[in-house]
Amino acid sequence: MYPKCKTYNRKKIILIFICCFLAVCILTGRLVKLMVFESEYYQELADDLHERERSIKAARGKIIDASGTVLATNRTVCTISVVHSQIKEPEKVIEVLSRELELDEETVRKRVEKYSSIERIKTNVEKEIGDRVRAYQLEGVKIDEDFKRYYPYGSLASKVLGFTGSDNQGIIGLEVVYDEYLQGINGTILTQTDARGVEIADAGEERVEPVAGSDLYISLDYNIQLYAQQAALKALEQKQATYVSILVMNPQNGEIYACVNVPEFDLNDPFTLNMDVDTSGLTEQQKQDLLNQMWRNQSINDTYEPGSTFKTITAAAALEKGVVSLDDTFSCPGFRMVEDRRIRCHKAGGHGAETFVQGICNSCKPYPIK
């Protein structure tokens, strides 16, 4: 029996050894997985907990007209956030923030009580309100100043300038075309905290300063634009038109002095429709379509036949080549066929007999076509 027992013991030892070996292998494998392959993921989670990052918005470049008038600039606004672990009087914080920021108490409570390193309560808060909240000196409430786009002349040249979204990005017009120059680079404030979320005094704040965007100088002239806008509004009313566009251009070099498309919209409130439409029954897509229609710059997006403006060129060419004389007569029947198109004169029934000069005075269509 003795040798057999010895074999039995050895078997047992080998079995235990194999078990231990496997356990060590599994643990090592797990450790390698955590430390090598997933280290980045866990590092990020830890950083999220230990580092508190707040961004400093870069000042967006101004848009300035030909005479130095600022057409688009920035206003200082505040972003208000709470740091859960630093709040000492949660009830007071909830009460003050919901009252001052005109927010629902439940919404504020949810954010204040959420266990996160930093929670944003409201952005684009007027500076006076931000200053008022700061005056309470509540622990755990952070007030950061940043910028909001501001258009001093409201709706002037709205479809040319365009506006920006909540992240300071251009949405239409020059704001989007020159976005990369205007935008600038946002900065950050990085604060190190311990596991409980308390800021480590020695670690200090790491600050990356923002870089302001470049200013944009355009050929548009504030005074000419304003004058053209008044003329367009007058025509809009007189003709009961849907829209009126005026483009003032320097013929020598193509510089645009004014580009008006009335009705314009308020650049400081671009998501409110400027038309009388009941939007209650509309889908999101239909509302978006109406906004797109309101933002549309007709001067550059729509085509329109040169029409009467081109008659002067036709008439000058005909006179210069001696094809017509001032006293030549013509009879306008009210329309003229060109290929398969029947082009009507603006006077139904026609102008009848008229001389070349009268034809031009009447702005008659069939005459220059002939």
Per-residue interface string for the shown chain with Zn ion, residues 314-333, x marking contact by CB under 5 A: ------------------x-
308 catalytic? Reply is: yes
With respect to Zn ion, which residue has the nearer C-beta, 154 or 333? 333
CB of 359 to Zn ion, least distance (A): 7
161 binds Zn ion (CB under 5 A): no
Interface mask toward Zn ion for 335-354; x: CB under 5 A = ----------x-----x---
Catalytic residue among 39, 155, 299, 308: 308
**Looking at beta carbons only, is 60 or 351 nearer to Zn ion?**
351
* Choice between 156 and 332, CB closer to Zn ion: 332
What is the Cα gyration radius of the chain? 36
Instruction: Name the minimum Å distance from CB 365 to Zn ion.
Output: 6
Cα–Cα distance measured from residue 100 to residue 102, given in angstroms and rounded to the nearest whole number: 6
Cα 161 from Cα 176, distance rounded (Å): 9
**Length in residues, the chain:** 370
HSE-CB of 230 using CA atoms within 13 angstroms:
5
Between 223 and 329, name the residue whose CB sits nearer to Zn ion: 329
Distance of alpha carbon 365 from alpha carbon 15, whole angstroms: 107
**Could you say which of 121, 174, 246, 364 contacts Zn ion (CB under 5 A)?**
364
What's the CA gap between 157 and 11, in Å, rounded?
91
- 71/132 Cα distance (integer angstroms): 30
Between 111 and 336, name the residue whose CB sits nearer to Zn ion.
Answer: 336
Supply φ then ψ for residue 54, to 5 degrees: -125, 140
Q: How far is the CB of 344 from Zn ion (least distance, A)?
A: 9
Of 79, 81, 88, 133, give the one whose Cα is nearest residue 111: 81
Binding-site size, Zn ion (CB under 5 A): 4
Least separation in angstroms between residue 335's CB and Zn ion is: 9
Q: Please choose, from the candidates 156, 295, 297, the residue with its C-alpha nearest in 3D space to the C-alpha of residue 227.
A: 156
**Catalytic residue numbers?**
308
In the complex, which residues of this chain contact Zn ion (CB under 5 A)?
Answer: 332, 345, 351, 364
